[in-house]
Structure 1
């Protein structure tokens, strides 16, 4: 994930048929939807993909399908750690890397126990790297099963190994993002922010791009932001976009990823709203909020010229 590739990397949804099986035809259309929007990479087999509700064979087949569809047009990354002894995790890291992805994402909350110290966590990361020689990796501070946020010092030491190409940051703290950027100025590495409250500030601080759920509602908007964040003549439009993301954050997070699938379906993408994860009831009120979201989005689109 070179810094020249600054842009949006969507956390991909997994389309299911109404009987709960992975819908690979819908996956083709969804992947094309992302690519047509101008994304700079794809993050398959992630939390938005309902990765904890997939078995290992499904994780492999889903990721391999995305790699095939992308056909090397953009980098593809995918999660490769799901708990257990480090040696066991290393075997799956190597297996999913063999699907042809560009890097294997390590979930910070699944490499070590919640009770483990930072030093114990660091040791396990280094052990995992030793057991998976030559495999490029990244980190994702996934909120489940608990949230472990890397310090700037930790991330800097990992990036210094030359093995880390990607980091999805969920610290929700622009000062932490800046601190991480200050110690990871290495070619081939990119920090991608998930928190849209400070999306504009993060890009201007030097983040390589964004990797957020909002792009599952309107990927072209996040692509536009990544392309235009540094243009002073567009300050008014950029600030309006930032305000829009803040205003509608709760709507997009509520009953997710069902809400995102519903939104894509309303846009004409043939995707079922079926989710394996129990995300609660999608109510008529939720539907009205999504309708209002897109009404406001249409106004914003006209203002910024998408």
Structure 2
């Protein structure tokens, strides 16, 4: 099993589009370089930030393969494998994604059972799915909030870690106690947990999470990289930065991922902030001003912490 998952910062990548609403691979290539230059430790391509539910299967596979090729082994790449409701369609999607050569394939927790169905149903479906996936492919989990959030229990996570096939969990519980329970359940295993929530990040780092995998790494990944690399040795500076990151993460409540794409335009990477999942025309002049202000103050913190 080819396993290269590292601790640290894993941005949930956005997908740039052309004015004709096609995937903009030139801009995507610039994004890959920008993330790496800003010291991320891995790339999560094809996720909700990537608007995966609005990409065709062919587009999802091509985006994952493109990001893997452009990263050229400098950082590992993972990608979500399935979005369909139908089991056989999921098997098809996952096996096509497995052929891209990504370092780990991500299973979406809410795809394994309906919202009203029990953990027993979830586990039965997972067992059936594992039988249909290539054994050499490393696997991960993502507690994707859409179409509903299914937070995996510590007990189920332990079962998954005991299979030896899972190595990465993007946790979206935003709950320190839940994360602690998961960490206790998988202690000593090869499965690592990555927190998607900035407000709880520092406390969960102290508990043993392996890193951050959230939307704010599309804005200032270098600051998260500094925090992940220095929180234990420079606690005062880390607390100060953590407070800044936590408050600025409230911009997630804006029109995301439109606002992230606008920020990346300010970085000179994207040509527009068009999305398929949101109407970019609803992004107001005030919204743009708020992102511009965030961009400016982020650069102040970058000079203070990263240069």
| TM-score category (smaller protein) | over 0.9
Q: Which moved more, 1:275-284 or 1:40-49?
A: 275-284
What does residue range 34-49 of structure 1 map to in structure 2 within 5 Å?
34-49=35-50
Gaps of 5+ in 1: none
How far did residue 172 of structure 1 move? Answer: 0.5
Conserved in 2, the CA contact under 8 Å of 1:237 and 1:303?
no
Tell me what 1:180 maps to.
182
Partner of 1:129: helix, strand, or coil?
Answer: helix
The Cα RMSD (Å) is 1.6
The answer to whether the 8 Å contact 1:159/1:186 transfers is no
Residue of structure 2 in register with 1:246 after alignment? 246
Question: Match of 2:167, SS?
Answer: strand
The equivalences for 1:41-120 within 5 A come to 41-120=42-121
Q: Distance in 1 between matches of 2:299 and 2:104?
A: 36
Give yes or no for contact 2:12–2:45 (8 Å, CA) kept in 1: yes
Q: Distance in 2 between the 1:105 and 1:63 partners?
A: 12
- Cα distance in 1 for residues equivalent to 2:140 and 2:178: 18
Aligned partners of 2:8 and 2:225 also within 8 Å: yes
Cα distance in 2 for residues equivalent to 1:104 and 1:206: 23
Cα deviation digits, residues 48-88 of structure 1 (max 9, x gap): 00101101011111111011101222211111121333333
Compared with structure 1, are the counterparts of its residues 252 and 84 closer, same or farther at alpha carbon in structure 2 (3 Å cutoff)?
closer
Structure 2 residue aligned with 1:220: 222
Distance 1:106 1:236, change over 3 A: same
Structure 1 residue 186 displacement after superposition: 4.2
Asked if the contact 1:109/1:141 (under 8 Å) is kept, the reply is yes
SS where residue 52 of structure 1 aligns? helix
Determine the structure 2 residue equivalent to 1:261. 261
Match of 1:204 in 2: 206
Per-residue deviation, residues 147-200 of structure 1 (Å, max 9, x unmatched)? 100111111111110010110000110111111111213453211110000111
Q: Distance in 1 between matches of 2:112 and 2:255?
A: 28
Runs of 4+ in 1 over 6 A off after TM superposition: none
Deviation at 1:93, TM superposition (A): 1.0
Contact 2:10–2:40, Cα closer than 8 Å, also in 1: yes
TM-score by length of 2: 0.94
Gaps of 5+ in 2: none
State the alpha-carbon separation in 2 of the partners of residues 46 and 285 from structure 1.
28
What is the alpha-carbon distance in structure 2 between the residues aligned to residue 22 and residue 124 of structure 1? 33
Preserved CA contact (<8 Å) 1:256 1:279: no
1:25-49 deviations in Å (ceiling 9; x for gaps): 1111000111111111111110000
Aligned to 1:28: 29
SS of residue in 1 equivalent to 2:199:
helix
Q: Distance in 2 between matches of 1:295 and 1:284?
A: 17
Distance 2:19 2:37 in 1: 26
Q: CA deviation at 1:145?
A: 0.3
- CA distance in 2 between counterparts of 1:279 and 1:204 reads 39
CA contact (8 A) 2:10 2:41 kept: yes
User: Does the 8 Å contact 1:90/1:131 carry over to 2?
Assistant: yes
Distance 1:267 1:6 in 2: 26
Assess if the C-alpha contact under 8 Å between 1:64 and 1:100 holds in 2: yes
Q: Does the 8 Å CA contact 2:223/2:306 hold for their aligned counterparts?
A: no
2:122 equivalent to 1:121? yes
CA distance in 2, matches of 1:270, 1:139: 29
